[in-house]
């Protein structure tokens, strides 16, 4: 079984500043990793995913994440945020032989002008 820890529950950030959302996971097997975003009053959307290959993954809206196997981390970054990035962000992991996603508790990002 896997578990996911998102280290920050709330991240306030000014517009055009960089942001990093931290995610650590625990698993005894190889995993796939995901970041989902939930905009206010909307459903979850996939931002990016790591399946294999390059450990630096680029997603939509200028986000990227880096898989670090030794540190069991998958931190999400964006070099310059916009007001429209205000949302809740979820990190998730699945076993490569399974289909169920285990989610972190979420990080709420609030971007201020």
Partner 1 sequence: GAGVSQSPSNKVTEKGKDVELRCDPISGHTALYWYRQRLGQGLEFLIYFQGNSAPDKSGLPSDRFSAERTGGSVSTLTIQRTQQEDSAVYLCASSYEASGRVGHPFFGPGTRLTVL
Pairwise CA distance, residues 58 & 77, whole Å:
10
Residues in region 23-82 near partner 1 by CB under 8 A: 34, 36, 41-46, 49
Closest CA to 104 of 83, 71, 74: 74
- Of the pair 20, 98, the CB lying nearest partner 1 is at 98
Q: What are 68's strand-pairing partners?
A: 73
| CB closer to partner 1, 15 vs 72 | 72
Interface residues toward partner 1, by CB under 8 A: 4, 6, 34, 36, 41-46, 49, 90, 92, 99-106
């Amino acid at each position: 079984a896997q578990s996911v820890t998102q280290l920050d529950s709330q991240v306030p950030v000014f517009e055009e500043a960089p942001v990093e959302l931290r995610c650590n996971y625990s698993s005894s097997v190889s995993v796939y990793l995901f970041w989902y975003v939930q905009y206010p009053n909307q459903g979850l959307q996939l931002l990016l995913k790591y399946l294999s290959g390059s450990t630096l993954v680029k997603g939509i809206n200028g986000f990227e994440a880096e898989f670090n196997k030794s540190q069991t981390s998958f931190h999400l970054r964006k070099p310059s945020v916009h007001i429209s990035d205000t949302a809740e962000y979820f990190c998730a992991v699945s076993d490569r032989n399974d289909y169920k996603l285990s989610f972190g508790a979420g990080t709420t990002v609030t971007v201020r002008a």
